[in-house]
Amino acid sequence: MTIAEQPTSPADPSDPAALMLLPQLANRRGFDNILGSYHPGRKPAAIALSLELDAVLVAGGQVLSREDLGRRNLSLQAGWDEAAGNLIALAINREGAIAASLIHSGHGQWWKLSIGETCAGSWLAHPHTFSIVNDFLRTRLGGEPYYRLPAPGERSMLVTADAPTVADTNERDVVIYQAGFPVPLDRARPVEHTGVGFLLAS
């Protein structure tokens, strides 16, 4: 799958695609930051991505529970995979490539990434979609990307190939790619391997 850089336009909230099953990042310490409502008596269906982050599934503004997935005849894994496929489909342009926009944010080392008409953080919520984005950014930025976690629903997120400093960011708000999963920077540790520096989850 290729990514083509081009400007994107805002999503139409009346679009039937809004009812698709889509992935979303959520803080594992609680679900207060989820974009959408959910039944208070039903815990959102979630897959742990790291010690800090979960992937949850949303459709039509609703965060789904395991019971909701059951009514769709989907297991949690199947729902997660379907959501990732839907996310990719929403971002593909007429040329068959994923439409992306990467522009300088105007703030130091950070670049602003937008992907089609999707919520940017959702791309970090599944290994397949995260791998697509990470490979693209490694080529465009010329190094291993760092991702500043966006608020739920944001269409863009800040990325950089320069290690963020404590002075300009909260390390808990920045993640790196680790085998398809987002690892918070404050949970990562530098190691050396064949002369190349890597960050591994601690």
User: Any residues with CB less than 8 A from the CB of 193 and at least 6 apart, and which?
Assistant: none
pTM over 0.85: no
Quote the pLDDT of residue 12: 44
Domain boundary among 36, 71, 91: 91
Q: How many residues are given for the chain?
A: 202
Do 197 and 153 sit in the same domain of this protein? yes
Q: In this predicted structure, what is the pLDDT of residue 17?
A: 46
Please tell me which residue, 16 or 182, carries the higher pLDDT value: 182
Q: Are residues 133 and 195 in the same domain?
A: yes
pLDDT, tens only, 135-181 = 999 999 999 999 999 987 899 999 999 887 655 556 668 999 999 99
> Which of 83 and 95 is assigned the larger pLDDT?
83
Residue 79 pLDDT level (bands cut at 50, 70, 90)? very high
- Residues spanned by the domain of 118: 99-201
Q: What is the pLDDT of residues 46-68, one digit of tens each?
A: 999 998 899 999 998 888 999 99
Which of 34-38, 81-85, 105-109, 151-155 has the weakest average pLDDT? 34-38
Residues 121 and 147 in one domain: yes
Residue 197 has pLDDT above 60, yes or no: no
Indicate whether 105 and 190 sit together in one domain: yes
Nearest to 79 by CA among 94, 101, 64: 64
| CB contact set of 69 (below 8 Å; sequence gap of 6+) | 45, 57, 75, 76, 79
Among the candidates 46, 67, 91, a domain finishes at 91
103 and 38, same structural domain? no
Q: Do 84 and 139 belong to one domain?
A: no
Residues 106 and 191 in one domain: yes
Asked whether residue 146 falls in the same domain as residue 184, the answer is yes
- The answer to whether residues 86 and 140 belong to one domain is no
- Which tokens go with 119? 């919520």
- For residues 120 and 85, membership in a common domain is answered with no
Domain count within the chain:
2
Question: In terms of domains, do 81 and 128 share one?
Answer: no
Residue 30 sits in the same domain as residue 69: yes
Residues 6 or more apart in contact with residue 124 via CB below 8 angstroms: 25, 49, 130, 133, 147, 149, 175, 182
From 55, 70, 91, give the residue that closes a domain.
91
